Chains A and B, each alone.
Chain A
Amino acid sequence: MASRTSTRTQGDGEKYSVLLPTYNERENLPLIVWLLVKYFGESGYDYEIIVIDDGSPDGTLEIAEQLQKIYGEDKILLRPRAKKLGLGTAYIHGIKHASGTFIFIMDADLSHHPKFIPEFIEKQKEGDYDLVSGTRYQGDGGVYGWDLRRKLISRGANFVTQVLLRPGASDLTGSFRLYKRKVLEGLIERCVSKGYVFQMEMIIRARQLDYSIGEVPISFVDRVYGESKLGGNEIVSFLKGLLTLFATT
C-alpha cells in the first residue's frame, strides 16, 4: 500500500478540467489561475483550465491570453463568447472543448480556494462519487466576510430548502463542485433554471437520477475585491426558483 504523502509526483491516469466562466474578472483571473497551477502542480494530477469569458469589457480575455503564454496552451484554454449568456450554456460551451474525464466548476472571484481541489479528488475516489459538492454548512466549512444578516438569510434559506426539497446535500446553492464528465453533461441537458437556482436544480436532478453525492467542507471568502450584495430582488427570485423546483421535481 503506498503511503500518503503531502506531495505526489505521479498522477492517477485521470484528467481534471476546470471550467472558469468569467465576467469582468481581470483582477482575479491571474490569481485564481496561479493558485490552480500551484495546487494541481503539487498534487501531481493532470489538469487543464478552460476560461469562458463572456465578452468582458475590462480586458479579462487579454489577461487570459497573457496567462496562456506563461503557462502554455495545453494548460490554459480560452473559449470566449461574444456576450453574457448565462452559466448553463457557459458550462456546455466549456465542456465541448474539455479533454478531462472529470470536470471542476468553481467561481473565478477567489471565493472558492483551489487548495480544496485535492480534497475533492480524494473524496471522489473514496466513494467513486458521481459528484462532489463543496459545502459551507458542514464540518469545518464556513464563510468569511458575512455579517449576521447575511448568515441569517443564508441559513434560513437553506433550512426552507431542506424542508421543502429534502435534497440529501447540505449546501445547494454552492457552485464549487467536481463532476464526472458524463454526469455533468447529462444534468445540464435536464436543467432549465438560471443562476444559482440552476446550481440547486443540478443537485436535485442528480438525486432524482440516483447519482451519488459526496461533500467536502470548504471555506468561502467573500468580498475580496468588491461588494457582493444580497438584496430583496435576489431573495424573491430565490423563492420563485425554490417553489418552481418544489412543484416540478
Chain B
Amino acid sequence: MTKLLEWVFGVSVVGAAWAFVTFDILKMSIPRTYREVAWPMPLYLLVTFGCYSLATVGYRVATFNDCDDAAKELQAQIIEAREDLRKKGLKF
C-alpha cells in the first residue's frame, strides 16, 4: 500500500467513526454529551497537530547545531592541503 493509500484509509476510518458518533447514523441513541464532544473533534485534532508541528519545527530550528569549529578546521586544512599539493607538483 502506498503512503497515500494508507492516509486515505486512515482518514476514512477515523472520519467514518466521527460521522457515526456525531450524527448517530446507526441510531444507537448515543448520549448527547458524547455527540457534543465528538462534533468539534476534527477541528481540535487539526489545531493540535498544527501546534505540535509549529512547536516541533521551532524547537528543531532553535537547536540546529552550528558547526563553527568544523568550518574553521576546514579552512585550516585547505591551507595545509594547498601547500602540500604545491610541494607535490600540483599546478593550481
Q: How far is the CA of A144 from the CA of B73 in the complex (A)?
A: 12
Q: Is the Cβ of B2 less than 8 Å from the Cβ of A248?
A: yes
Q: Is the Cβ of B90 less than 8 Å from the Cβ of A30?
A: yes
Total A-B pairs in contact (CB under 8 Å)?
Answer: 89
The verdict on A144 contacting B70 (CB below 8 Å), with A30-B81, A66-B90 known, is yes
CB within 8 Å of A: which B70-92 residues: 70-71, 74, 77-78, 81-82, 84-85, 88-92
CB proximity of A176 to chain B, nearest CB, Å: 13
Interface residues on A, range: 35 or more
Q: Is A83 an interface residue (CB 8 A)?
A: no
Number of B interface residues in the complex (CB < 8 A) = 27
- Chain A residues near B81: list those with CB within 8 A: 30-31, 34-35
Q: Is A189 an interface residue (CB 8 A)?
A: no
Q: Is A164 an interface residue (CB 8 A)?
A: yes
- Chain B residues near A30: list those with CB within 8 A: 81-82, 85, 90, 92
Q: Is A211 an interface residue (CB 8 A)?
A: no
Q: Is A151 an interface residue (CB 8 A)?
A: yes
CB within 8 Å of A: which B43-89 residues: 53, 56-57, 60-61, 64-68, 70-71, 74, 77-78, 81-82, 84-85, 88-89
Binding site for B on A (CB under 8 A): 30-31, 34-35, 63, 66-67, 69-70, 110, 113, 137, 140-146, 148, 151-152, 154-156, 158-159, 163-166, 219-221, 224, 245-249
